[in-house]
Amino acid sequence: MVSDYPGHYFPMVPLGWALQAAGHEVRIVCGPGQVETASRTGLPALARGTDVDTLVQARIGYHLEARAGLANHPGLPPLHPLTGEPMARVEDFDWPAYQPQFVAQQAIQGRDRTRGIAGFARHWRPELVLYDLLSVEGLVAAHVSGARAVCHLWGPTGTDEAGYGLERMRPDIPAPVRERLGIDPDAELVTHVIDPCPPEVAPATRATRLPVRYVPYHGPGSAGRPAFAAPGRRRIVVVWSNSLTRIFGPASFVVPTVLAAAADLDVELVLALSADDAARLGTVPPGVQVLRQFPLSLLLHNASVVVHHGGAGCLMTALAAGVPQLALPFGLEQEMIARRLAGTGAGIAIQGSAAEAGNVGTALRALLDVAQHAHAARSLAARNAAAPSPAELVPVLAGLVDRSAHARAVRGL
């Protein structure tokens, strides 16, 4: 059971392969808009419920913060939450007028999603439901089928993070739905999490932690001619989110700042960008390679530094490859995990809206030249490699399946 953003469920895919390769049956249940992508991972995907526009949701969240005077990046012009176009003032969007419609729409989407997934679970009778932080309907599916529910984290963001804007990520079934389904209002539903992080960047959770090795997977379209040529010069790889400018506006595209900062360094620069961002960048200095949608893990084997926006997929892929990272986050969650990584010495975090050629250049030089960073990055990668593989997690999950509860629920269906 997955939410409407591929970056949230790609980290679960290697476990799906592991389960299938061990002879288990797996289905991804997702919104209709995700079926095409989700079904091209090697796992079959089924559509249930209606789509949720995660970009609109994210923009509304940040809009409300700006209205409350809590904007994380006051220098960036606000975006219209529905169109994504920059606005002169936050008040140009009439939130009080839109709010009732938004609330009603959220309720309908939530209900459709819950009904769809519950219907599927009653029919297919899973023994195990894996869900991500934003697909809490998985908890309902597990309840109606007697399955064990396990939350699969996508990176260093846990089920019990403290701090503004992060506590709302805690997965739960709302009280009215609990009442309707006869679930004890005080029952702790998040009992187990699959945690792909080394302890040094451990996400906060009160649940039982099932450690697993992070195996990078970047989704369909991961083809590429291998980049073998070992560069005589050190290589900096810059990878940027496809959706960031649609949440924080064009001003959040700070890759030109990174280029300016790296201009004086004797390095080879490789940029992996979406087509839109590549177009936004325009012409680049000679010697800078721009790749479209190239899978990050295939680029990192001889990289000295990775620069990214703090997305969990980039951060974890670089972590697994043992490459020091510079994170330039805009989102609250990205900022939290970037700081968590920086705490290990394997990376440096600079708030995206504060990035300038000066501080980015200083950070890049430190990551290239100060041995502690490379050492910390290698040590995190070694920790990751020593964690149980997804294949080794399969028997652990099988051991968690409560067959008697499953049998009771199936009898009751």
Binding site for other proteins (CB under 8 A): 13-15, 17-18, 20-23, 35, 39-47, 123-124, 213, 215, 217, 220-226, 228, 295, 298, 385, 389-392, 394
Cβ proximity of 374 and 115 under 8 Å? no
Q: Which amino acid, residue 405?
A: A
Nearest approach in angstroms of CB 411 to other proteins is: 19
Which lies closer to other proteins via its Cβ, residue 21 or residue 175? 21
Which lies closer to other proteins via its Cβ, residue 42 or residue 86? 42
Which lies closer to other proteins via its Cβ, residue 167 or residue 392? 392
Nearest approach in angstroms of CB 111 to other proteins is: 18
Which lies closer to other proteins via its Cβ, residue 112 or residue 160? 112
SS3 at position 150 = strand
Which lies closer to other proteins via its Cβ, residue 297 or residue 334? 297
Residue with tokens 């149980």: 388
Which lies closer to other proteins via its Cβ, residue 113 or residue 213? 213
Nearest approach in angstroms of CB 23 to other proteins is: 4
Which lies closer to other proteins via its Cβ, residue 102 or residue 124? 124
Distance CA 86, CA 93 (A): 11
Q: Which residues contact 390 (CB under 8 A, 6 or more apart)?
A: 14, 15, 17, 18, 212, 213, 215
Nearest approach in angstroms of CB 129 to other proteins is: 17
Nearest approach in angstroms of CB 219 to other proteins is: 9
Q: Which of 112, 157, 176 is nearest to 8 (CA)?
A: 157
HSE-up of residue 380 (Cα within 13 Å, Cβ side): 33
Give the DSSP letter string of 53-69: -HHHHHHHHHHHHHHTT
Nearest approach in angstroms of CB 80 to other proteins is: 34
Which lies closer to other proteins via its Cβ, residue 321 or residue 341? 321
Distance CA 360, CA 355 (A): 6
The CA–CA distances, whole Å, from 64 to 97, 165, 386 equal 14, 11, 42
Nearest approach in angstroms of CB 61 to other proteins is: 30
Nearest approach in angstroms of CB 46 to other proteins is: 6
Q: Which of 225, 195, 157, 198 is nearest to 320 (CA)?
A: 198
Residue with tokens 């007697």: 146
Count of CB atoms within 10 A of residue 26's CB?
19
Phi, psi of 225 (to 5 degrees): -70, 135
Nearest approach in angstroms of CB 386 to other proteins is: 10
The CA–CA distances, whole Å, from 34 to 46, 77, 292, 374 equal 9, 30, 21, 37
Which lies closer to other proteins via its Cβ, residue 221 or residue 358? 221
Q: Which residues contact 17 (CB under 8 A, 6 or more apart)?
A: 42, 43, 390
Which pair of structure tokens corresponds to residue 26?
């797996």
